[in-house]
Amino acid sequence: MNYFRNTLLINLLIINCLNFGQADNTRPFNLDFTREAALIGTGVAAGVTAFIILESIQPLTPQEINLLDPANVNEFDRGAIGPFKEDKLGDVLLYGSYLLPLTFLAYEETNRDFLELAFMYGEVLLIQGSINGIVKGTVQRSRPYVYDKDTPLSEKTEKRARISFFSGHTSITSAVTFFTAKVFTEYIENNTTKIIIWSAAALIPAVTAVSRVNTHWHFPTDVIVGYAFGALVGYFIPELHKSKIGEKISINPAINLERPKLNLQFRF
């Protein structure tokens, strides 16, 4: 859960330090104060909700762990059950992916719009992390290694042993890579370059997902949902900010700690 708390704090710091760019339809993306306030406000409310839910999780007791039966896990997921392992590859891909948007500085067109892109990136991390945290804390699915007899009891009784669904590593990595690819392909015209960028964007979270399953931190359904959700957030946050589309969309937040949500309206 520390990764969620740290991500939320980093996102809020980024958002607090950035300025809004001027609306300019000659650029792929524009920021709108009302839209950004709604997105950030809802994201922060959802983040606070997620933090409260996650902090309230009670670790599994030895008695509860003894009652867990691998036979009760669906057949598709059951193969992920195994002993606890450190997932060094998954961690490297996760933390490395956070740095991918810095590549915007290396390209003249994206470098020019870096503040706007960094702002959107903060929104991606905030919304992805907040919703992922709410789902994890609400579902409280035990990780695959909890079902394994050889895994030390000390690992099984950690709070993190109860937040398997859905995969945060896979979801975050997917959100960041798809966000980076979506942004670059709005500036780059060469189709071959676009194919390379999107291939890398799809591959990195896929490898992360496989690593999370192979080290018994997640079930296949955890990483499938995480991959899909992260990809949607990473793709559609920039899409929402596209100059022409953004003019036709209005966002009305309905924010509270129990049911944060956004109401979207599209004008034809």
Looking at residues 2-25, what average pLDDT do you find? 53
pLDDT digits (tens, 9 = 90+) for 244-253: 544 444 444 4
Q: How much is the pLDDT for 9?
A: 57
In sequence order, the 6+-apart residues with CB closer than 8 A to the CB of 185 are: 194, 197, 198
pLDDT digits (tens, 9 = 90+) for 172-185: 999 999 999 999 99
Averaged pLDDT score across all residues of the chain: 87
Query: Is the model's pLDDT at 148 over the cut of 90?
Result: yes
pLDDT digits (tens, 9 = 90+) for 42-89: 999 999 999 999 999 999 999 999 999 999 999 999 999 999 999 999
Lowest-confidence range among 3-7, 184-188, 193-197, 199-203? 3-7
Q: How much is the pLDDT for 216?
A: 98
pLDDT digits (tens, 9 = 90+) for 195-209: 999 999 999 999 999
Q: Are 169 and 177 in contact (CB under 8 A)?
A: no
Task: Return the higher-pLDDT residue of 259 and 133.
Answer: 133
Confidence of residue 266 (pLDDT cuts 50, 70, 90): very low
Confidence of residue 256 (pLDDT cuts 50, 70, 90): very low
pTM of the model: 0.84
